Structure formats: structure tokens, C-alpha cells
Amino acid sequence: MPDFSPPPLNPTQVARLEKLLKAGYQFTSFEQFARYPAVEKAGFVALLDVSGDVVRQFGSVGFHLGNGIGVLVERAGGKAFVWKNQSRDATRELLASYEKVKAELADLLNEGSP
């Protein structure tokens, strides 16, 4: 795997990342997405792009499955989070938590943005 060093963070980015921590998010990483730090809460994961002046979400929020991020898909039997050969049924409760985390993350990352 290529070595990747993240760019230095500016004070605005540091403050945004601290807000995520205070809101209960934990930092994590995924080898296959080494360029992007990730945050996790209640099993839901989002990759972050810190290459610009602000912290942005990279891609969609997913569910932590094994060593990857399961994306929400619609199947014949209903919705599920799927990563390679692993899946987790998206129950009503899990979907409610998913929507809550997505909204909260969007608010935290967009706070103070133009």
C-alpha cells in the first residue's frame, strides 16, 4: 500500500474535527481508503476529505461491515447495507439511526459554511 501523509490541518478544520468528537464520533481509518480519515458513530461510517480549506464528507454514509463500509441498497427482500459478500438487513430502527447520523453529520460539517 502506498504511504499517504495527510495535509496539515488549518484551525477551522481542527475545530470542525473537535466538534465531531464532542458529538460522539470516533475517528477510524480503512486501509482501502487510506487517503480519507473516517468517523464512526453507532456503527455508521463516513469518509472525510480534508484536502481543501474545510472538512467535507467524501461519498455516502455507510455501515461498518468487517473491514469495509456497507452501502445501502434496495434488494428484492428489502433494503440492506452491503460490503462485498457481507450484508446487514436495514431494519426500520437501523434506517432511523442511519437518517439521524446522516443529518447530524451534515449539520456538523456544514456549520458555519457559506
Residues 20-43 have pLDDT tens digits of: 999 999 999 999 998 999 999 999
> Which residues lie closer than 8 Å to 36 by C-beta, 6 or more apart?
30, 47, 48, 49, 58
pTM (global) more than 0.95: no
Cα–Cα distance, 90 to 74 (Å, whole number): 9
What is the longest distance spanned by two Cα atoms in the chain?
47
pLDDT value for 6:
65
Per-residue pLDDT, averaged over 54-66, amounts to 96
Q: b or e along 28-54 (b: 16 or more beta carbons within 10 Å of the residue's beta carbon)? A: eeeeeeeebbbbbbebbbbbbebeeeb
Cα–Cα distance, 27 to 17 (Å, whole number): 9
